[in-house]
Homo-oligomer: A and B are copies of this chain.
Amino acid sequence: IQESDTARLQHLLEDFHESDLGDLLEALDPDFRPRLIELLGSAFDFTALTEVDEAIREEILEGLNPSTLAEGVRELDSDDAVTILESLGEEDKAEVLDQLPPMERIALQRSLDYPEESAGRRMQTELIAVPPFWTVGQTIDFMRDTADLPETFYEIFVIDPAGHLLGAVALDRLLRSKRPVTIQEIMDDEPDRVEATQNQEEVARLFERYNLVSAAVVDEANRLVGVMMVDDIVDVLEEEADADIKQLGGVKSDEELSDTVLYIQRSRFPWLFANMCTAFLSAGVIRFFEGSLERMVALAILMPIVASMGGNAGTQTMTVAVRALATRELGRTNAWRIIRREAAVGILNGLVFAVILGAVAALWFQSSQIGIVIGLALITVLIFAALGGILVPLTLNRLGVDPAVSSGPFVTSITDIVGFFAFLGIATLWFSL
């Protein structure tokens, strides 16, 4: 790159798949990234930019001049073009759009008008639609004669003159039918369809549930506006799982490996801050029993065990509940059954661990009374942990708050407070401290 040896670079990167090219961009020194793209010129496949982390994409786009960008975006499928345009500032976006031919500009503009994370943003507008009275032969000839077909497609759509979706024909169905058969005869008249304004996560669940490969995207009047492809759905599902995992771990869902130290520090701050506040609440509970602790230091030694057992049991239940809510496995119909089940598991594990923990504590402090007190406290906290772990996500979900983001601090503050209160309270009563 330093020598600007365009020919050699083009030759070297000729056979690179867009994902590999994306990796190469990520591995390069930031200054070289836009440089490489300008050098490659039309040999650079802009799809590669959709494969890099968002922070890197934004940075690269800033370094490119708008004409190179407009040239590159023109070559892209509409869904990839939208991804790139989304990463641009308002001004740059307008500038790039201005340099595109009117047809493409209008199509992209329309996609960008749909809400973020909707099917309309992710859909591809390149598709094949034919009228129902065409024959299989006509359709095949049309496809052979048209140069500007979508890059890949798995079904063709059937529409009426006003653009309303009538049906769809899978390619294998088309291939297996004789030439004189009309499209109407072989089309599936209840094709899989999604609304352009539907959330991408909902659409992904549909694909997953019904094993779809592509689905028509229609507007509110059932007019065909695009097609959703499974490769985009795979990305949506991955992003969503990623977001759930990160949020449960107390990290912002958009944190990426390429982010700066400052960005990450800010991404992790809110969770730690929430945790600090709840920790002070539990410390307040402990302070309430200051006198007991002064008289019996063994309580201070053992109390973190009770709280941490509760925290872990609560997290277990919460994890299962949050994930089941995300995959729509947990809903109104089975919520009550799962609550009872979790409570039963809590009681059972409470009893088992009360015996183990009680015995070990009794031996360690040479006092069977300590064992009984910690055992009773543990049963209490594990029951509260089970109930908190399931009821907190369910309630947040009912209130329209994403349970993956905010369940954690609630559940751990419940288990901490109950843990310290139960153990120190029972001990104070038992030993009359």
In whole Å, how far is A424's beta carbon from the nearest beta carbon of chain B?
A: 10
Inter-chain CA distance A266–B108, complex, in Å, is 54
- Interface pick from A68-76, A94-102, A230-238: A230-238
Contacting B at CB under 8 A, from A116-156, are 140, 143-144, 149, 152-154
Is A265 interfacial (CB 8 A cutoff)? yes
Return the contact of A140 from the options B175, B235, B276, B412 (Cβ within 8 A): B175
Q: Mark A194-224, 1 if CB is under 8 A from B, else 0.
A: 0000000000000111111100000000000
Is A308's CB under 8 angstroms from B416's CB? yes
CA distance A316 to B352 in the complex (A): 30
Cα(A245)–Cα(B248), bound, Å? 8
Question: Is there an interface contact between A304 and B319, defined as CB atoms closer than 8 Å?
Answer: no
| Given A248-B245, A304-B307, A312-B250, A143:B268 Cβ within 8 A | no
Residues in B with CB closer than 8 Å to A11 are none
Known A-B contacts A19-B210, A143-B175, A345-B265; the reply to A249 vs B283 at CB < 8 A is no
Given A234-B234, A283-B301, A305-B280, A345–B293 Cβ distance below 8 Å?
Answer: no
Q: Is the CB of A319 within 8 A of B251?
A: yes
Interface string of A335-367 (1 = CB under 8 A from B): 000100100110011001100110010000000
Residue from the set A230, A300, A303 with the largest chain B CB neighbour count within 10 Å: A300
A246, B319: Cβ atoms closer than 8 Å: yes
**At the interface, yes or no: A103 with Cβ under 8 Å from chain B?**
no
A54 at the B interface (CB under 8 A) = no
Indicate with 1 or 0, residue by residue over A162-201, a CB within 8 angstroms of chain B CB atoms.
Answer: 0000000011101111100000000000000000000000
Q: With an 8 A cutoff between CB atoms, is A45 at the interface?
A: no
Q: Is the CB of A261 within 8 A of B348?
A: yes
What is the chain B residue whose CB lies nearest that of A404? B245
Residue of B nearest to A365 (CB): B287
CA distance A150 to B268 in the complex (A): 50
A320 to B153, Cβ gap below 8 A? no
Tell me which residues across on chain B come within 8 A of A433, comparing CB atoms.
none
A391 interface contact, C-beta 8 A:
no
Q: Which range holds the interface residue count of chain A?
A: 35 or more
Digitize A276-292: 1 where CB-to-B-CB distance is under 8 Å, 0 elsewhere: 10011011001100100
What's the nearest-Cβ distance from chain B to residue A231, in Å? 4
Please give me the residue from chain B that is nearest to A356 by CB atom: B276
Decide: B302 and A283 in contact? CB cutoff 8 A. yes
Measured between alpha carbons, how far is A172 from B303 in the docked complex, in Å? 67
Question: A294 — which chain B residues lie within 8 A by C-beta?
Answer: 294, 297
A241 in contact (CB, < 8 A): yes
Contact partners of A171 in chain B: CB under 8 A? 154, 171-172, 175
Task: Name the residue on B nearest A249 (C-beta).
Answer: B319
B207→A234 contact, CB < 8 A = yes
Asked if A268 meets B316 with Cβ closer than 8 Å, knowing A207-B234, A248-B248, A261-B345, the reply is yes
Indicate which residue in B153, B172, B315, B416 contacts A249 across the interface (CB closer than 8 Å). Answer: B315
Cα of A120 to Cα of B251 in the assembled complex, Å: 37
In the complex, chain A residues 296-332 whose Cβ is within 8 Å of any chain B Cβ: 297, 300-305, 307-309, 312-313, 315-316, 318-320, 323-324, 327, 329-330
Cα–Cα, bound, A233→B212 (Å): 12
CB neighbours (8 Å) of A152 from chain B are 170, 172, 213
- Cα distance, A393 to B238, chains bound together (Å): 21
Query: Does A287 lie within 8 Å of B304, measured CB to CB?
Result: no
A-B contact pairs, 22 of them (CB 8 A): A17-B210, A19-B210, A144-B175, A149-B172, A153-B172, A211-B231, A213-B230, A238-B327, A249-B315, A257-B324, A264-B341, A265-B348, A265-B349, A265-B352, A271-B312, A279-B308, A282-B304, A286-B300, A293-B300, A294-B297, A297-B300, A304-B420
List 8 tightest A-B contacts by C-beta distance, closest first: A249-B319, A241-B241, A211-B231, A300-B300, A279-B305, A171-B171, A261-B344, A265-B348
